[in-house]
């Protein structure tokens, strides 16, 4: 079975399906298509499907011309008709995996995708899950659903997990040059999935099982979350001691061994770092294990927006003003620099806290011209208008490259810099974390 699918891939006679066309799925589908593998891209969002059909991209990391070229060549087609799954030889699942309000994993998108695949599953097919989830998801959730029709994983079809590692906005690391970890439910599944990715990725790293591959992704993001939590706690400590935390980290990273710099900030954002560690701690609790480092880091990171509000209070108090009634302008609402993604953005949490305290809010963000938050009143205005229109406080919540930082420092009465964007500016009106 594995020889058959590998030969089809090698001969460019295989059809690849990708379910979910967001930051992970669209770049992946385009890379498969660029490798001259016929690619069918699935999404329930009709607007995304129509964009792709017209040769346009809605993801900043994927240029329009790349989408247009593979669509024009017939290598990439987009559809919302999941019956087309019957025509694909392999299918990659790239759907969201958020947390429920209770903190439990929400696999509803994964389950919906797997249910569709199960309807059209056929012998020899390869199914790969890329969505980040807890260790055991492939064996405990995906496999039973796919096998419910009578076909068996490892005997009748291939099944594997390969964690996505996309970093939106990163111009150095992208789909092709980020190594790809692959783990199947058996050796043949690992080999088939690895060979598929070798067509589009420079380095594939096979591991012994799907569960190991699932654990790899959670280790990567938990490592970051815990170390960012340490950096954030250090920022709180340095604030009490009257020490510049950024100077401390800059000096510490001069050590050529035994230290890796992580930086504090207004809180964690995006779809991965604030969420993935809790998938791991949730699974650990099912086995009677308490993940104390993970829980503590989560507590510290979640508290950073409130600390930023404290610093805004300090900044305004230095001008004999209160938050209530003050005009506060946020520079950036995306969760990180140079992307349009506002998922779990700490800027939103900061804005909500300021709104509760009676602040008059506005924002500038070249990547997010419109913001839809039902409980938040936050109008977008141009950064230069904001700086000349009588704001009381500027808050740098996202260090986008398009902001004029020297003007912010010069024109705003007080500035709270949560990203060390003004590290080269020495002015008494600047308040850091």
User: Would you please indicate which residues are annotated as catalytic (active-site) residues?
Assistant: 272
In three state form, how does the secondary structure of the chain look? CHHHHHHHHHCCCCEEEEECCCCCHHHHHHHHHHCCCEEEEECCCHHHHHHHHCCCCCCCCCCHHHHHHHHHCCCEEEECCHHHHHHCCEEEECCCCCECCCCCECCHHHHHHHHHHHHHCCCCCEEEECCCCCCCHHHHHHHHHHHCCCCCECCCEEEEECCCCCCCCCCCCCCCCCCEEEEECCHHHHHHHHHHHHCCCCCEEECCCHHHHHHHHHHHHHHHHHHHHHHHHHHHHHHHHCCCHHHHHHHHCCCCCCCCCCCCCCCCCCCCCCCHHHHHHHHHHHCCCCCHHHHHHHHHHHCHHHHHHHHHHHHHHCCCCCCCCCEEEEECCCCCCCCCCCCCCHHHHHHHHHHHCCCEEEEECCCCCCCCCCCCCCEECCHHHHHHCCCCEEEECCCCCCCCHHHHHHHCCCEEECCCCCCCCCCCCEEEC
> Do the beta carbons of residue 45 and residue 26 sit within 8 Å?
no
Cα–Cα distance for residue pair 233/167, rounded to 1 Å: 25
Task: Give me the half-sphere count of Cα atoms (radius 13 Å) on the Cβ side of residue 17.
Answer: 29
Backbone angles phi, psi at 431, to 5 degrees: -115, 120
Q: At what angle do helices 304-317 and 210-241 cross, to 10 degrees?
A: 20
Handedness of CA 340, 344, 350, 355 (dihedral sign): positive
Cα–Cα distance for residue pair 403/407, rounded to 1 Å: 9
Cα–Cα distance for residue pair 185/126, rounded to 1 Å: 11
């Amino acid at each position: 079975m594995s020889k058959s699918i590998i030969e089809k891939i090698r001969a460019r006679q295989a059809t690849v399906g990708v379910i979910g066309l967001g930051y992970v799925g669209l770049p992946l589908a385009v890379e498969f298509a660029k490798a001259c593998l016929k690619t069918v891209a699935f999404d329930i969002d009709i607007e995304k499907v129509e964009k792709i059909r017209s040769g346009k991209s809605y993801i900043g990391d994927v240029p329009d011309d790349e989408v247009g070229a593979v669509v024009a060549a017939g290598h990439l087609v987009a559809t919302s008709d999941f019956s087309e799954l019957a025509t694909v030889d392999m299918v990659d699942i790239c759907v969201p995996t958020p947390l429920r309000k209770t903190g439990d994993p929400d696999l509803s998108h994964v389950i919906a995708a797997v249910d569709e695949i199960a309807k059209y599953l056929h012998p020899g097919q390869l199914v790969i899950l890329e969505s980040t989830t807890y260790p055991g998801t492939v064996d405990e959730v995906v496999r039973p659903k796919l096998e419910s029709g009578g076909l068996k994983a490892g005997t009748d079809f291939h099944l594997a997990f390969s964690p996505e590692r996309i970093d939106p906005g990163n111009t150095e690391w992208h789909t092709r040059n980020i190594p790809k970890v692959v783990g199947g439910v058996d050796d043949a599944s690992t080999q088939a999935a690895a060979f598929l990715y070798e067509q589009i990725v420079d380095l594939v790293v096979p591991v012994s099982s799907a569960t190991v591959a699932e654990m790899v992704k959670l280790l990567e993001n938990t490592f970051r979350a815990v170390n960012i939590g340490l950096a954030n706690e250090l920022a709180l400590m340095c604030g009490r001691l009257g020490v510049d935390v950024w100077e401390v980290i800059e000096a510490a990273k001069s050590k050529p061994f035994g230290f890796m710099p992580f930086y504090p900030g207004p809180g964690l954002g995006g779809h991965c770092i604030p969420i993935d560690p809790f998938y791991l701690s949730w699974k650990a609790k099912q086995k009677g294990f308490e993940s104390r480092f993970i829980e503590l880091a989560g507590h510290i990171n979640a508290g950073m927006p409130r600390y930023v509000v404290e610093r805004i209070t300090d900044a305004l108090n230095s001008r004999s003003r209160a938050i209530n009634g003050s005009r506060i302008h946020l520079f950036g609402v995306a969760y990180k620099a140079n992307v349009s993604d506002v998922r779990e953005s700490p800027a939103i949490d900061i804005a909500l806290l300021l709104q509760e305290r009676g602040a008059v809010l506005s924002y500038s963000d070249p990547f997010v011209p419109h913001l839809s938050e039902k409980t938040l009143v936050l109008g977008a205005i141009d950064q230069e208008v904001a700086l000349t229109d009588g704001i009381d406080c500027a808050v740098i919540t996202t260090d986008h490259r398009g902001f004029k930082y020297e003007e912010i420092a010069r024109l705003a009465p007080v500035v709270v810099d949560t990203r060390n964007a003004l590290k080269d500016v020495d002015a008494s009106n600047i308040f850091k974390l």
